[in-house]
Amino acid sequence: MLDQTQKFVLNDEKDKEMKYILLEVYDALKQKGYNPISQIVGYILSEDPTYITNHKNARSLIRRIDRDELLHDLVRHYLSE
């Protein structure tokens, strides 16, 4: 029994948080009349926070996501289906 290593899945929690943040940012952008997909893509490509509204604290939220991790997860998810 001592030779078995227990693994903790932290990625699942990170994925949930990333999804939550993206949904919140999407909702805030939509409420302000923006095209949420275009604005989020603009932010991901440029890392320019002005693509994201301050409404509902969305700009602060999006900065909690690591862009490289987000891109990695997006490609992984897209290719896994």
- The pLDDT of residue 20 is 97
3-state secondary structure of 57: helix
Q: Are 61 and 25 in contact (CB under 8 A)?
A: yes
- Residue range 12-36: average pLDDT? 95
- Residue range 46-53: average pLDDT? 96
- The pLDDT of residue 9 is 52
Contacts of 18 (CB under 8 A, 6+ apart): 65, 69, 70, 73
- Report the sign of the C-alpha dihedral through residues 8, 11, 14, 15, in that order: negative
Query: Taking the model in full, what pTM does it have?
Result: 0.82
Q: Decide if pLDDT at 64 tops 80.
A: yes
Q: Where are the alpha helices (DSSP H) in 1-81?
A: 11-31, 36-46, 58-62, 67-80
Q: What is the mean pLDDT of the chain?
A: 89
| Alpha-carbon gap, residue 14 to 40, rounded angstroms | 19
User: Smallest Cα–Cα separation from 49: which of 36, 79, 69, 40?
Assistant: 40
